[in-house]
Amino acid sequence: MPARRRVLLPAVLTLSAVGLTACVTVPTNQSAPVPLRTFDAATPTAPTAGPAAGADPADIVKGFYAAAANPAGNHAEARTYLASSVAESWRASTPTTIVERMTYTTEVGSDSEISITATGTAVGELAVNGAYHPMYEAYEATLELVREHGEWRVAALPDEVAIEQTELRNRYQPHELYFYDQSGRRLVADRRWVYTENRDVDEKLMSMLVGGPAAGISAAVVPAAPDPAVFVGRRSGEYLFEGFGALDEASVRAFAAQVVWTLSAANVQAPYHITIDGVPITTNGAGLTTDDFVDYNPRLANTRNARLFVLAGGQILGLDENSTEALPGQIGGMTTLASADVSSTGDLVAVDGQPGAQRLLMGTEAGPAEEIEAAETFTAPSFVFSGGPAWTVADGRRIMRLTRSSATGKIVVNEADGRGIPLINDPGSTAQIEEFRISPSGARVAMLIDNRLFIGVIGQLESGNLAVVDVYEAAHELGGHIDTLDWLPSNQVLLGTSLPAQPVWQVEMDGSAKFALSTNNIAAPVTEVAASSTSIFATGGDRLRSIPRNEATGNGLWVEVDQTRGLRAEPIVAN
């Protein structure tokens, strides 16, 4: 038997002995569903439940909607609740509608026929590739039941799949795939939901990875694999991929990093053995781990310690062990600042002056500052994690990216198209972007418009210009009460609100869930929020308080930040 070639992936990749020279070509349209793979060992287990003997019509309908959460065998379990006349013909079309809570109304019927209408609020859709998309609209469906062999069964129903939100939470598990941003330097999370009774979830994730990014994030990232590529399956501990063609050294390493970080995020035990078109990819003969790809770590922001600064009395202050101190640079000496942000690499961007006449400045903690431009207003600026660009919005509409050139040190300003943002582009609308916060990866943006939360992605138009696209509203129920927002390093959105009972909230990146954080010793309105890898900070009741992140979802205690006692301070975390 011919010996199998083995490609080595040391910490610094060397593939000189392998004839992989052509670059991977990738498709540009990832919005349509694509076949996941030719070998599907991750098919969910066969259904084991079904309607109980003698069940009444209401129980049949409730059981049908619960069983619809199981996708096995084209929703075979749900079909056991259907009459024989429709059991095979029912089209379980996708996406699956997620309904917050269903209410059932029984219509007047007979001993042999009856109708039941299910109503509720549709809060999201789950695509065939596991991607969640929020929505907020009324749901209604009428199911007609008949007696068949003495048992009630559904004989007429819409060609759709709908499940309650509790079924999504109880029977599906969210995972993160990782795709590169447009620069090819950062891995961006793409959240997918996988049925919990799937065998070999790792294989399902690999199929999804090769299948490409979800429509909602595709504008900000590039696909992981060329169009003909497939994930064949995991055999004898090896993850087998085919159809990649000739890859250059950088492409092999980049794809392997995606596989490794995706499997690691799903808590699949390392090391990982990867084979591409029959060629094993290894590190000195061993399997791969995240240690081989630390430079691609997409979760670094959620593990790195970050410094805390505050804005108090119009001045940005650093915190030492017991007190605050002014920063030594030009911006640090100003006392009329309206907002500011600091990067982990020491860059600083600030807005000086009151609304009506403001200046946008950029400099460093210890050095001089440069005035970028003036406008009536600027939103509080925010940096991409670890030395990336800064973003702000001038006059509520003009979206700006500020980048310091690595070659010249000069600040380059690019504007992003915001025509895809709801509300501000409605005819006759006077709505403005009140806050604009860039995510740690730089791929997503959270915006506050009319005190409502909108999440979008930063993409590129065919012209090459930047644009905010694929924008959706999240946390609808909190709309009108949100006063401030920021990103957690783990890619959720943190909200400060005017709601007295629950002033601080957390929203998942895909908008699939929201939940209130601890209310112990925090008062509304919460007007500023920020977060590090270990703590959450909030300004509420004119006091800056913090809480450990691992206590925030329970009844943890918010405590005042000692160095800011007596000050009305707004938190700034240098992520």
Helix/strand/coil (H, E, C) string of 197-241?
A: CECCHHHHHHHHHHHCCCCCCHHHEECCCCCCCEEEEEECCEEEE
User: What's the rounded mean pLDDT across residues 218-231?
Assistant: 94
Residues 150-160 have pLDDT tens digits of 999 999 999 99
Can you give the pLDDT at residue 17? 30
> Which tens digits make up the pLDDT trace of 425-460?
888 899 999 999 999 999 999 999 999 999 999 998
Task: Please compute the mean of the pLDDT values over residues 142-163 and round it to a whole number.
Answer: 97
The answer, yes or no, to whether residue 207 has pLDDT greater than 50, is: yes
What percentage of the chain reaches a pLDDT higher than 90?
Answer: 81
In whole angstroms, give the CA distance from residue 65 to residue 497: 35
- Give pLDDT tens digits for 167-202: 999 999 999 999 999 999 999 999 999 999 878 999
Please state at what angle helix 249-265 crosses helix 201-211, rounded to 10 degrees. Answer: 140
pLDDT for 19 beyond 70:
no
pLDDT at 27 over 90: no
**Cβ–Cβ under 8 Å, residues 246 and 20:** yes
pLDDT value for 525: 97
537-570: pLDDT as tens digits = 999 988 999 999 999 999 999 999 999 999 999 9
Q: What is the mean pLDDT of residues 122-145?
A: 97
d(CA 241, CA 290): 19
d(CA 154, CA 182): 49
- What mean pLDDT is predicted for residues 311-337? 95
pLDDT at 275 over 90: yes
What are the pLDDT digits (tens) for 489-516? 999 999 999 999 999 999 999 999 999 9
pLDDT (0 to 100) of residue 247 = 84
9 pLDDT more than 70: no
Q: Are 331 and 380 in contact (CB under 8 A)?
A: no
* Cis preceding linkage at 422, omega within 30: no
Residue 137, SS3? strand
Q: How many CB atoms sit inside 10 A of residue 152's CB?
A: 23
Q: How far apart are CA 90 and CA 75, in angstroms?
A: 10
Q: How far is residue 73's CA from residue 77's CA, in Å, rounded to a whole number?
A: 8
Q: Domains plus CATH for the chain?
A: 57-171 (3.10.450), 173-298 (no CATH), 301-573 (2.120.10.30)
| CA atoms of 490 and 441, how far apart (whole Å) | 10
3-state SS, one letter per residue, for 466-520? EEEEEEEEECHHHCCCEEEEEECCCCCEEEEECCCCCCEEEECCCCCCEEECCCE
Q: What CA–CA distance (Å, rounded) separates 489 from 441?
A: 9
Closest CA to 350 of 325, 366, 367, 369: 369
Supply the mean pLDDT for the chain.
90
Indicate if the alpha-carbon torsion angle 375, 376, 380, 384 is positive or negative: negative
Q: For Cα atoms 162, 168, 172, give the angle at the middle one, nearest 5 degrees.
A: 125
The amino acid occupying position 201 is V
The region of weakest confidence among 163-177, 205-219, 405-419 is 405-419
How far lies 166's CA from each of 72, 102, 127, 201, in Å? 19, 10, 17, 21
Rounded mean pLDDT, 270-288: 91
pLDDT of residue 8: 41
pLDDT of residue 248: 86
pTM of the model: 0.90
User: How high is the pLDDT of residue 286?
Assistant: 87
DSSP labels, 28-78: S---S-----S--TTPBPPP---PPTT--HHHHHHHHHHHTT--HHHHHHH
d(CA 272, CA 455): 34
Tell me the per-residue pLDDT of 33-63, one tens digit each, with 9 for 90 and over: 222 222 233 444 444 578 999 999 999 999 9
